[in-house]
Homo-oligomer: A and B are copies of this chain.
């Protein structure tokens, strides 16, 4: 868990874990259990790290509010994962059964709603003025999910379609994590927007790397079976670039558009993809985004927290493959 970049917020992240554990408790024991199942699965806590480091890098000192908001962001993120897994019919999440596979589907839908509500409650109690950033991101997620569905099993999907999908689905909540941190530190609007731009860019890069790992990752460290996105017809940048390959593109497109691939055919598709330059192009795109994101941080004075934001951005490119 502990990455180089979160050493300077280690204590704050521990306090955040306590707040998350507290917030998940309710008078219904099974609901508490299901919330804990989700929240204790120890994700990367990327959104909290972005929020806390943005706050510190903007000169914030009192950690109370940012830690609460970081907890709220992580809870809201997890709420959306619960529903995403149902929608994607995912079996696994972070190497364990998805919530709706371990418990009932109907209770999982309610648990997602409950987590969303307690996330918003935490925002309202801490800093109601941040609600707009966060709720705006939550609405974008819905739009992103619909845009993604529109291109399922559709080889016509373009790089700009992909950017629009990922923007809503993933990057906007990461953007709002940074904006919340900067806002709480009392930064002016130009700085808040710059931090937002940084986070939006690295958020897209994060999703690109995630999509790359679906093709070439080690299931042992990603916690998900390889080729899952191909099986489900998800429009990802690896597929988009692979389809553009002169030699293998047409065949990859045919396979991608097939709704009934066997596991063998998925592996065959991956084999063909590996003969294209999808990996180089994806990583180059992600690197460009990280570079642009870092550039947006130039407005900040130098500090160890600014360095940590740089390190966090670099970490995104170096996740386990």
> Is A315 at the interface (CB under 8 A from chain B)?
no
Q: Which residue of chain B is the closest to A135 with respect to CB atoms?
A: B121
Contact A128 B124 (CB under 8 A): yes
Contact A106 B128 (CB under 8 A): no
Contact A145 B30 (CB under 8 A): no
> Is A317 at the interface (CB under 8 A from chain B)?
no
Bound together, the chains give a CA A137 to CA B310 distance in angstroms of 41
Interface residues of A in 25-45 (CB under 8 A from B): 26-28, 30-31
Q: Which B residues lie within 8 Å of A147 (CB)?
A: 28
Contact A83 B107 (CB under 8 A): no
Interface residues of A in 106-158 (CB under 8 A from B): 106-107, 109-114, 116-118, 120-121, 124-125, 128-129, 131-132, 135-136, 138-139, 141-143, 145-147, 149-150
1/0 per position for A75-116, CB-CB distance to B under 8 A? Answer: 000001001001110000000000000001111011111101
Contact B128 A131 (CB under 8 A): yes
Bound together, the chains give a CA A138 to CA B145 distance in angstroms of 23
| A156–chain B nearest beta-carbon distance, Å | 17
Q: Which residue of chain B is the closest to A28 with respect to CB atoms?
A: B146
| A300–chain B nearest beta-carbon distance, Å | 28
Q: Which B residues lie within 8 Å of A114 (CB)?
A: 139, 142-143
Other-chain contact of A26, B104, B110, B139 (Cβ < 8 Å): B139
Q: Which B residues lie within 8 Å of A117 (CB)?
A: 135, 138-139, 141-142
Other-chain contact of A106, B86, B116, B138 (Cβ < 8 Å): B86
1/0 per position for A4-47, CB-CB distance to B under 8 A? Answer: 00000000000000000000001110110000000000000000
| A194–chain B nearest beta-carbon distance, Å | 24
| A134–chain B nearest beta-carbon distance, Å | 9
Contact B131 A83 (CB under 8 A): no
- Give me 13 A-to-B residue pairs in the complex whose CB atoms sit less than 8 angstroms apart, sorted by A's number: A26-B139, A31-B146, A83-B113, A86-B106, A87-B107, A110-B142, A113-B113, A117-B139, A120-B138, A121-B138, A124-B128, A124-B131, A131-B131
